[in-house]
Amino acid sequence: MHYGHRTSYDIDAFVGASDTVRALTPQRNPVTRQILEGNPYEYPGNYLKLVFPDGEIDFIVAGSQTDTPVAPWVFESATVPLETPWEIAIKKMFFRPSNFKVRDVFDLR
| 40 in any annotated domain | yes
Domain that holds residue 65: 11-107
Under 8 Å between Cβ of 49 and 42: yes
| 92 in any annotated domain | yes
Report how far apart, in Å, the C-alpha atoms of 34 and of each of 16, 28, 38 are: 25, 12, 8
pLDDT digits (tens, 9 = 90+) for 45-73: 889 999 999 999 999 888 888 899 999 98
Backbone angles phi, psi at 95, to 5 degrees: -95, -15
| 3 in any annotated domain | no
Through-space distance between the first and last CA atoms of the chain, rounded to whole angstroms: 14
| 25 in any annotated domain | yes
| 28 in any annotated domain | yes
| 6 in any annotated domain | no
pTM for the structure as a whole: 0.71
Residue 48 neighbours by CB distance under 10 Å: 26
| Number of domains into which the chain is organized | 1
pLDDT digits (tens, 9 = 90+) for 72-103: 989 899 998 888 888 877 887 776 656 656 65
